[in-house]
Amino acid sequence: MAEADAPVILLVEDDEDLRNAYRIVLSALGLRVVTADRGEDALSSLDAGPTDAIVADLGLPGLAGPRLVRSLRSAAPEAALAVLTGHDSDSLRRSCRAAGADVFLVKPVTARELKAVLEELLRSSSSGSPA
């Protein structure tokens, strides 16, 4: 279970089953997980406390896609930011990168794979090298 100094992950996913699956397994793997099912709620969560990394689904109701990525990046300039989507295209990858995403992940991604990616991003950012 998560230690008090474990990284805090904000997970933004509108699919309830996947949100729960990631929350349960990432917590069991030692991360502290905060969840949101909409982009607007995710921005409120960022205001509420420090966040080390964000995992955001792109296909949300309301604020979504590269616009969501831009908003998250603006609200949390220091956080590692991974986007997660079932829709893969070169133009979407470029848009998300330009909006501030550190990594673009195409579903399906398991919680363990997600944890490995986030740890790598956090290591890179703490050592000062680009992700």
Partner 1 sequence: MIPSGEPAPRDPFNPAPDSGQVDPSSHDQAAPGSEHVEALEREIRELRNLETARIQFLALVSHELRTPLSSILTYAEALDDGTLGDLNPSQHEAVDSIGRAARQTLEMVDEILRYSRSGGQSAELRPETFEIGDLVEELRASHHSLLARKSLEFRTTIERGLPDLYADRSKAVHVLGNLLSNAIEFTPEGGRVEIGAESADGGGWARIEVRDTGVGIDPEDRERIFEEFVSVDEGVERRLGGSGLGLSIARRIVEMHGGDIGVESERNRGSTFYFTLPTVRYDTAAPAAGGDRESAGET
**Residues at the interface with partner 1 (CB under 8 A):** 15, 17-18, 21-22, 24-25, 28-29, 86-87, 106-112
Cβ of residue 16: shortest distance to partner 1, in angstroms?
Answer: 10
Cβ–Cβ < 8 Å for 33, 56: no
The Cα diameter of the chain in Å comes to 39
| SS3 (DSSP) at 85 | strand
> 1 or 48, CB closer to partner 1?
1
Cβ of residue 49: shortest distance to partner 1, in angstroms?
Answer: 25
Cβ of residue 107: shortest distance to partner 1, in angstroms?
Answer: 4
> 110 or 126, CB closer to partner 1?
110
Cβ–Cβ < 8 Å for 8, 51: yes
- Residue the block writes with tokens 């995992």: 55
Cβ of residue 59: shortest distance to partner 1, in angstroms?
Answer: 9
Rounded CA gap, 80 and 74, in Å?
12
Cβ–Cβ < 8 Å for 51, 76: yes
> 96 or 111, CB closer to partner 1?
111
> 6 or 109, CB closer to partner 1?
109
